[in-house]
Structure 1
Amino acid sequence: MGRFWSLLFLLVPVFGVGTFIVAATPNTLLVNHWLPENISETGGVIDGLFMFILWLTGIIFIGTGVALFWFLWKYDSERTTEPVKYMHGSHTLEVVWSILPAATLLFIAIFQMDAFADAKIRRPIQSAGPDGIEGTADDVPQPPLVEVTGRQFEWRIRYAGKDGLLYTTDDVHTVNELHIPVDEVVVVAIQSEDVLHSFFLPNMRVKQDVVPGMQQYVWFRPIRSGEFDIVCAELCGWGHYKMRGRLTVESRGQFDAWLQREFEEQERSEYTPVEDEE
């Protein structure tokens, strides 16, 4: 094969690992190409899980690349005249390289179960159920503060008004503009009006497929104010690239004032006075 090609093969893992190192190092040209800033209370757990899996798979990737390079280098056909010896299989090797990956995947699955449950299963509760004990099946879940409906190619957003309930006369409607209060657990109901979308808040570490005919829920607790991106992470048609929105995290007072202004403006736009006929 030639040792030139062996060295060329070695460049693949070297550049692959080097790219990750440079991207994760501050004060480099790629500083903004790593994970976006985390603003969620549980985001640190998700980032830690991501880094753990990245390190685990990275070590396996490097080890495999080094082993392949060593074989290419040592048994180069231009320098080795010894005839090749073919093996027709080894039950021991088959068992080993079947058990090791399976055990690794099982370990990852068990290791991430708690983080997955907090993000996808354990919806925040409003109060205990009739038995008066929290953590049981009859707990009353926290109602959603807002409903987000995905449609080609925008996010339709409905807020609960003063009564705190969705689907009542004081609901507030916006498009591609999501406001939430900081330092509070927020539950969002999501649904699709047409095709499959994916509701993605990169800074909140929240991503959930939006399936037509299903209403799903996501929840999070923002810990920092500011403006951030809302994107669709599922190819949903020709205008997928422009299906973006703005997430504004602000204090409870600012949120309530903004919601009241939106409600009043909505009321004015819906009311058209009729001039008296003379």
Structure 2
Amino acid sequence: MSWAALAVALCLAAPSLGWWFPDTGEAMSSIGRRIDGLFYIILWITSIVFVGTQIALGYVLWKGAVKPAHEKATYSHGNHTLEVIWTVIPGIVLLFIAIYQMDVWAAFRMRNYAPGEIEAIAEVTARQFEWRIRYPAPGKPLMPMPQPDDVYTVNDLRIPVGRPVSISLRSGDVQHSFFVPVLRIKQDALPGTVIPVWFDALQPGSYDLVCAELCGWGHYKMKARVLATSEELFQKWKQEAVLLQADDGLQSASPAESTAADQAQTSTP
């Protein structure tokens, strides 16, 4: 039994050491890597305790099996010293984990880039069953109410890499959950509440955005992408999106509205 337990513990610890499994799930955000560090510490503690207890159990079973048959068994009501030891040690371990994680939690929620200290680049509204994103026009801040020159996308969140960014998270109907696994970001979206969420992307790439809260029959369809690019490409995309959106608006307008828009453009110096 002890050998089987040891094999299971090694399999659990192997991903963190990179022995048998490729590390394809490395966090791509600064806070995500610190969160991973907490998980690895807990994994090591639980693995050591699990292996140690299984080895002790195997030794007791082996000792009882080789005991002479004529030797009488002894009865013990308990050992207060051992009971205190195996109560105090888990308490110390839990206290260590609680204190050790406080710095990570404070950095994520209270210090450095706490929500409200950096300007929001977009408003993300979760609704059955899609993500609607509203960006301010280039050079303008994100306003609480939609503006005529705002840029809109669906299931496509663009962010710049190399710096922390913030979004305003909302829900248009029921409770959802904004979850980007590779960035280790997860935040519930509550109806009637605007929640600021900050994160960063360390490398360019396309990352999955999903809903982690069961929100209805189409919950499985709430998949989007977070596209992280350089600051230059991000700003260039916003400028192109503004022009493209304006062209789409003119094409979908009535003939009278299009004529009025053309006259306004010609009369502008």
User: Which residue in 2 is equivalent to 1:274?
Assistant: 254
What displacement does 1:157 show? 1.6
Q: Which amino acid aligns with 1:160?
A: P
Q: In structure 2, what is the Cα distance between the partners aligned to 1:27 and 1:107?
A: 28
Q: In structure 1, what is the Cα distance between the partners aligned to 2:132 and 2:73?
A: 65
What displacement does 1:94 show? 3.6
Q: In structure 2, what is the Cα distance between the partners aligned to 1:214 and 1:246?
A: 23
Structure 1 residues 106 and 219: alpha-carbon distance in aligned structure 2, compared to 1, 3 A threshold: same
Find the residue that maps to 1:38 and give its secondary structure.
Answer: coil
**Structure 2 gap segments, 5+ residues each:** 257-269
Q: 1:77-92 alignment to 2 at 5 Å?
A: 85-92=74-81
CA RMSD of aligned residues (A): 2.9
User: Which residue in 1 is equivalent to 2:226?
Assistant: 247
Q: After superposition, give the CA deviation of every residue in 1:65-88 in whole Å (9 maximum; x if it has no partner).
A: 212222233324998665654544
Structure 1 residues 102 and 82: alpha-carbon distance in aligned structure 2, compared to 1, 3 A threshold: same
User: Which residue in 1 is equivalent to 2:265?
Assistant: none
Contact 1:193 1:212 in 2 (8 A): yes
1:100 equivalent in alignment to 2:89: yes
Q: After superposition, give the CA deviation of every residue in 1:85-122 in whole Å (9 maximum; x if it has no partner).
A: 45444444443333222221111111111111111222
Q: Which amino acid aligns with 1:204?
A: L
Q: In structure 2, what is the Cα distance between the partners aligned to 1:233 and 1:35?
A: 21
Q: In structure 2, what is the Cα distance between the partners aligned to 1:164 and 1:122?
A: 23
TM-score (norm 1): 0.77
TM-score (norm 2): 0.79
Higher share of residues assigned helix = 2
What displacement does 1:192 show? 2.6
Find the residue that maps to 2:30 and give its secondary structure.
Answer: coil
Q: In structure 1, what is the Cα distance between the partners aligned to 2:60 and 2:19?
A: 38
Structure 1 residues 210 and 63: alpha-carbon distance in aligned structure 2, compared to 1, 3 A threshold: farther
Q: Which amino acid aligns with 2:178?
A: F
Contact 1:195 1:236 in 2 (8 A): yes
- Give the number of aligned pairs: 252
Query: Whose Rg is larger?
Result: 2
What displacement does 1:254 show? 1.0
Q: Which of 26, 45, 51 is residue 56 of structure 1 equivalent to?
A: 45
Find the residue that maps to 1:199 and give its secondary structure.
Answer: strand
